[in-house]
Chains A and B, each alone.
Chain A
């Protein structure tokens, strides 16, 4: 049997890749994909814990995360299309009317 720590390390690596992607990628769709990576790292974590703890709650949680992530992707793409219609490029560095 694979020990729990292997799953946790895998999920930590994927989560980190996701965070680095969000922070360094400049294309809106790639940022969205990096966020999906983060969510899937969470899913691995939850399923591993659920198996290890012999508790079903974690797996139920994963179903909800998958569903919400699908809705999130749909909404994100809708907003990205809105931006694309106005500008025809997706580089987030050029979305800079509002200066923070």
Chain B
């Protein structure tokens, strides 16, 4: 009888139980009181976070090696809890305006969060697959949540079909990896691969290509990125924000564990593939973003480019590279959520607010909002003193230390290109005359979220020591 340590999944148990209770209680909450579901969901996330906090520093492997709880997992779980809390804070008013004010919305966000949390601590291909699907299924529904809006439905079916196709690819890769090594847990796979030199085995190559393609779809790297702009544009903006921040980082957290722990000993057979994808993703993402007129599409291409930067940390495959991935994930989550909050503010009864021209003259009418967008834009480009700068500094530093000079140069050039399209939006806000004088969709929760995100972006840029220390402690168990 294998031993089971339930404390290792206590935060997820709390979140799942409370999410189930919410779903049952939802029909009894009157229509005009649905926002309470949002507040309760935040309470659930805080409860889960408190139980997570007590686990820091523990190293538990349980469920026959399927779940590992180490600092790495806790770091990402904490990040997912914060991301989903911010996503709920910016949703409360928005889903009323879009008339999708249902309690299930919050339930699905909680279930997606549970999926992400399991992904970061899954140490077996089976648990990785199940948690990936738990997260993706919640997102398929959330994407198509605006039932009356044709764009949202279209985004839903596009995301669903590509997502299901992707899981087929990942599974085929897993099947080959299992056939080759006779195990699905990452520890045994790694042990087998380091004992047998299989670097020229075609089966290993096929497995790696399929896994890279499958996860490449989830994190939207070129050439598997086509779904992202359409889904980002069509989905409800709050879902887009949660999708781009949460689901992408969750896929990265699982991928990092697969490639560093499971496939770490056959590094030579995958780094060139990721190198190529990283360069393609950074370059194409940034160049295509230059010509966008829709802000959500622009952010989609920007998030594709950011996936390219994060892949740098994989290619370096050193402890500092992995710490850089963790630091960049935090910075990326905060600044992306912040940028999408602008669209949520601009979404009013009469306009969707997702065109760049909707930002006209925002600095004149709402200087504080425009100022916070400037902070996010600076961070997205990677200009000090912001979180994005620290993230990029660590990534490029890791690349240079690992003697990947070309990769660092291409990354820095790409960051320069990205300056143009982020500051095109800033220019529209500051130079042009305001057009629409309708008030912005402010709500107390959104104001809190916007303040927190602006503060975190600046704070992590000015005083990054705690974040760096946590990231370094989180990757100590690897390599």
Report which A residues bind B (CB closer than 8 A): 8, 15, 18, 22, 28, 31-32, 35, 38-39, 41-42, 45-46, 48-49, 52-53, 55, 57-58, 60-61, 64-65, 68, 71-72, 75-76, 79-80, 82-83, 86-87, 92, 95, 97-100
Contact = CB atoms under 8 A, between A and B. Distances in A.
Given A28-B161, A64-B129, A68-B130, A39 B182 contact: no
Contacts of A98: 151, 154-155, 158, 229-230, 233-234
A95 B176 CA distance: 35
Contact of B165 (A22, A41, A95, A97): A22
Contacts of B431: none
Contacts of A55: 182-183
B409 to A, nearest CB: 30
Contacts of B126: 57, 60-61, 64
Contacts, number: 119
A42 B141 CA distance: 25
Given A55-B182, A58-B178, A18 B168 contact: yes
Given A83-B153, A100-B229, A32 B175 contact: no
Given A41-B172, A42-B174, A97-B234, 5 more contacts: A8-B179, A39-B167, A64-B130, A75-B140, A83-B154
Nearest to A76: B160
Contacts of A87: 150
A98 B352 CA distance: 15
A79 B144 contact: yes
B179 A28 contact: no
A75 B179 contact: no
A68 B133 contact: yes
28 contacts: A28-B161, A31-B161, A38-B165, A45-B172, A45-B175, A57-B178, A57-B184, A58-B184, A61-B125, A61-B174, A61-B178, A64-B126, A65-B129, A68-B167, A75-B140, A75-B160, A76-B160, A76-B164, A80-B157, A82-B147, A82-B156, A83-B153, A87-B150, A95-B157, A98-B151, A98-B154, A98-B158, A100-B227
